[in-house]
Every structure is written in C-alpha cells, then in structure tokens.
Copies of this chain bind each other. A is one copy, B any other.
Amino acid sequence: MTDLTYGQFEMVHNVLNLTIAIFGGSAFLFSMLQNQVAPSYRFAVNLMAVVVAMAAYHYVRIYEAWNAAYVFTDGAYKSTGLPFDYALRYADWLSTVPFIVASLVLVLDLGRAKSTNMTIRMVVSSMLMLLFGYFGEVQRTDMMLRGLWLIFSMIPFAYMIYVLWVEMSNLLEFETARIRQYFSALRVLLVTSWTFYPIVYCLPMLGLKSAELELGIQIGNSVADILAKAMFGLLIYSIAREKTVEDSLSKQVSGATPARVQA
C-alpha cells in the first residue's frame, strides 16, 4: 500500500463512514416504507431493505480493513504491511447484487411464472458475473489471466443488459408512461453505476498505482455503491408506490371494490 498524507487517509475514512450511515439509514427507511405499498410489491421493497442492511454491515468491515492497513506515524499514514482487502467488496456484491436484480423483476409484478423464470435467469447471471470477477480479482500478478476472467465476466453482464433492454421493454408496453419513466431511470442507474467496477478492475492491468488513484478507487466505489443500492432502492419504492396507487384507482373506476389505501 502507498503511504498517504493525513488528509488523504481521513478523506477515505470519512467517505466510508458516511457510506455506512447512508446504508444503515436506508435500511431503516425502506423497512418503514414497506407499509406504503400493496402486498404484491412489498417483497421487492423488503429485498432492497435487506440489500442496504447487508451493505451497511460490509462497509463496517471495509472501514475496519482500511484502518488496519495504515498506521499514523510522524504526521502521515504509513502502510502497516497488511494489504487492504479489496476482495471484501466482492463479499458485499455477492450477497447483494442477486437481490438487487431480483427486486427489479419482482416490482414489475409480471405474474408468477414469468416472474420466477426471469428472476432466476437474472440472479444466476449476476452471480456468474461476480464469481468470474472474483477469480480475476485475486490474480495480482498474471495480468493475462486477469484480463481473461474479465471477458468471461462480461458475458453474463451483456446477457443482463439484453434482458433489461429487450425482454423487459416488451413487457412494459401496457404500463403507464410514469412507470416506464421510472423503469428507464432504474436500468440506466444500474448499468452506469456498474460500469465503475470494471474500470477499477482494469487499473492493475495498466500498471497504475498512486495515492491519488487509491483515493479515487475507494471514494468512487462508495459513490457507485450508494447509487446502485440506496438510490436504486428508492426508485424501486417509487415504482411500488406508483403501482399501488394505480391499482387502487383502477379498482375505483371499475367499481369492483372501493379503493383501500394500503397503509
């Protein structure tokens, strides 16, 4: 690990700390918001509450690992010799990304058979992407092998993009304009925040290493995680809430049952 100035170390230290607070807070928020959505959409919101709760836990461990990698000596932060364990982040992704993609499918409420089938395909693809990424991540010397695992990892990623843009777009034609807007925002958010990870993955292959780069990686990862989990969860809730209101209005119009506010 490269030595850091006091300011550099503290910057990462504080961003990691802030991230723990945002994830913990989001878990609390989503668990309260579940009551604002109809039972059919509730499981998706519950899953996102779990995602941010697990992310909060993992960030506590990442924060501990960051503190263990440096020691304050002579006015600066020197490496303790123990490398910062980047693979900790894979433990986070492996336990949260499958739930993120599942919640994206489930909130659309496509009917049991279609929903189950698509959820399984998305969950399996996301796990393969992460596993291949992990096998490459632990390759610290053989850069050819690291590059090869990246290519493997990109195959399930490309498949997920296909499902999101082609398959799901067809299923959404009967949804209202607002739902389609939310959904577009959701998938753009997911894919743009996810592109940050392969960029960081490639840095060792380019031989880049400096204190500034280390800062960029840690802060960039936190921002990408906040967008892909907390912000994403808020959008999932917005869709669930919108659909709850729409369902209740359509019942009112057809005169079947009086609209009952799900609360």
Contacts and interface: CB of A to CB of B under 8 A. Distances in A.
Interface in A12-32: 13-15, 17-18, 20-22, 24-29, 31-32
Contacts of A24: 53-54, 57
Interface stretch (A33-41, A187-195, A199-207): A33-41
B263 A262 contact: yes
A65 B244 CA distance: 45
A154 B259 CA distance: 47
Contacts of A51: 25
A28 B27 contact: yes
Contacts of A17: 58, 61, 88, 91
A32 B53 contact: no
A39 B39 contact: no
A189 to B, nearest CB: 16
**Copies of this protein chain in the complex:** 2
A6 B11 CA distance: 28
Interface stretch (A42-50, A145-153, A163-171, A213-221): A42-50
A261 to B, nearest CB: 6
A20 to B, nearest CB: 7
Contacts of A1: none
B39 A25 contact: no
B32 A31 contact: yes
Given A17-B88, A20-B57, A90-B14, A31 B34 contact: no
Interface residues of A, number: 53
Interface in A223-263: 261-263
A138 interface: yes
A7 B50 contact: no
Interface in A78-111: 81-83, 85, 87-88, 90-92, 94-95
A248 to B, nearest CB: 11
A159 interface: no
A162 interface: no
B14 A91 contact: yes
A26 B88 CA distance: 20
A28 B49 contact: yes
Given A7-B138, A20-B57, A36-B42, 17 more contacts: A14-B85, A14-B87, A14-B91, A21-B57, A21-B92, A22-B95, A25-B57, A28-B50, A29-B49, A29-B50, A32-B34, A33-B46, A39-B261, A39-B262, A42-B263, A72-B81, A262-B263
